[in-house]
Amino acid sequence: MSFRFEIHGRDGAARVGRLETPHGAIETPAFMPVGTLGAVKGLTPQELESAGAQVMLANLYHLSLRPGVEAIERLGGLHSFTGWRRPILTDSGGFQVFSLSGHREVDGDGVTFRSHLDGERLRFTPEQVVAAQERLGVDLAMVLDECPPWPIEEAAAERSLERTLEWARRAVAARRRPERTALFGIAQGSVFRRLRERAARELAELPFDGYAIGGVSVGEPEAERRAVVEWTAPALPEARPRYLMGVGTPEDLLHAVASGVDLFDCVLPARNGRHGLLFTRAGVIRIKNAVFRDDPRPLDAECRCPVCARVPRALLHHLVRAGEITGAVYGTLHNLRYFLDFMADLRQAIRSCQLGERARSRAVSSADGNRTESLAAPAPGSAFSGGSGGFRP
């Protein structure tokens, strides 16, 4: 079977494992960089591979509008089209469609919406969304779901969930290439425990290859988002991969990994990277700040990304302030590497049953991180204080 998922170790509820797909294996827990239109903004597929990305995310809504599923199919599928040779996961676009409030109409059968590009009327149904992702030849596909807004009344959230569950059943029945494209169900239910548990229970009765927690990061407070993860993850089938959609900060990832989640995607590292908000082992750095103007140190001396290997903070400061495209590329490369290394470290921590320790040291270092900028000026006599002393060879 193409989509074998094996769990190789546990630490509490956290699992370390391996998901096999037709385009290679994914070591889990894994972070999936987001290449909505078929590329992670600013990066080549080779750079993404070198950063350690095992799987890339793309988006069916965006690709359907432009260049269109037929066009990509004619070019041999999404792998040939993008040049990305490792696994690809496509989101169904339910989240994007339901963000088009005022420009979409939901009925029992599907959703009709207007393209955000040219206003053209389009329609998604559960069957068509499965078929389109199978035609793209992606490894991991998502069902069409209804992503309710936050806040929402419980009764409305339940009606919406019932539609999502019905669409999930139709999506399963619509599969034609299960050996080539895995299908994930999506648990909705807003911030209501009863609904989240119902979603997990009813989806578990369907033969999905994996199960996602959707409808988070839609404006709800952090405590509610974390509660949703804590209720839903353990209620999803133990033997299948679990995917938390669209989350989040390293702290969010650590919390969800500890709750038993295996897959993640988020635009945060790339988007922040483009704007000069850079993740380091000593906290988040806003590279535009004047304190970095003459800073000769690498962004993060422990980072092995191509940016930290060569250039000083002063150059990043200069490029990002000048709006130079290379500044955005450098920020993206570094931040993605940070997230991918962070996940590799969590996998190692689970193998050695040290996840709790990682969480405690993380809490300490994020407290330090609040002071990062005031500590950012090189201390006289430190290894980083001048010349190339702080750089890797």
Residues tagged active-site: 91, 265
Would residue 24 be called left, alpha or beta, if left means φ above 0 and alpha means ψ between -120 and 50 degrees? left
In the complex, least distance from residue 298 CB atom to Zn ion, rounded to whole angstroms = 7
DSSP 51-116: TT---EEEEHHHHHHTT-HHHHHHTTSHHHHH---S-EEEE-SHHHHHH-TTSEEE-SS-EEEE-T
Give the number of other CB atoms < 10 A from CB of residue 346: 27
Provide the mask over 245-284, with x wherever binding to Zn ion is found by CB under 5 A and - wherever it is not. ----------------------------------------
Nearer to Zn ion, 84 or 339 (CB): 339
In the complex, least distance from residue 50 CB atom to Zn ion, rounded to whole angstroms = 12
Nearer to Zn ion, 213 or 376 (CB): 376
Q: Which H or E run contains 160?
A: helix 154-173
Rounded alpha-carbon distances, angstroms, from residue 176 to 44, 57, 137, 142: 32, 22, 12, 14
Nearer to Zn ion, 74 or 304 (CB): 304
Q: Name the one range near Zn ion by CB under 5 A: 178-186, 218-226, 264-272, 306-314.
A: 306-314
- Interface with Zn ion (CB under 5 A), residue total 5
In the complex, least distance from residue 300 CB atom to Zn ion, rounded to whole angstroms = 5
Residue 16 burial by Cβ neighbours in a 10 Å radius (0-12, 13-18, 19+):
buried
Rounded alpha-carbon distances, angstroms, from residue 312 to 122, 309, 317, 333: 48, 9, 9, 15
In the complex, least distance from residue 350 CB atom to Zn ion, rounded to whole angstroms = 24
Residue 225 in contact with residue 254, Cβ under 8 Å? no
Binding Zn ion (rule: CB under 5 A), the pick from 142, 308, 315, 340 is 308
- State the virtual CA torsion across 255, 256, 258, 261 in degrees, nearest 10: -170
Using rule CB under 5 A, residue 23 touches Zn ion: no
Using rule CB under 5 A, residue 78 touches Zn ion: no
- Rounded to 5 degrees, φ, ψ at 381 are 85, -5
Contact positions with Zn ion (CB under 5 A) in 161-200: none
In the complex, least distance from residue 15 CB atom to Zn ion, rounded to whole angstroms = 28
Contact positions with Zn ion (CB under 5 A) in 100-119: none
Using rule CB under 5 A, residue 229 touches Zn ion: no
Nearer to Zn ion, 167 or 338 (CB): 338
Binding Zn ion (rule: CB under 5 A), the pick from 305, 315, 320, 346 is 305
Nearer to Zn ion, 186 or 308 (CB): 308
Contact positions with Zn ion (CB under 5 A) in 313-342: 334
Distance CA 310, CA 335 (A): 16
Q: Name the one range near Zn ion by CB under 5 A: 51-59, 164-172, 298-306, 352-360.
A: 298-306
Q: How far is CA 344 from the centre of its chain?
A: 15
Distance CA 284, CA 368 (A): 10
In the complex, least distance from residue 263 CB atom to Zn ion, rounded to whole angstroms = 23
Using rule CB under 5 A, residue 350 touches Zn ion: no
Nearer to Zn ion, 48 or 261 (CB): 48
Binding Zn ion (rule: CB under 5 A), the pick from 303, 329, 346, 376 is 303
Q: Which residues bind Zn ion (CB under 5 A)?
A: 303, 305, 307-308, 334
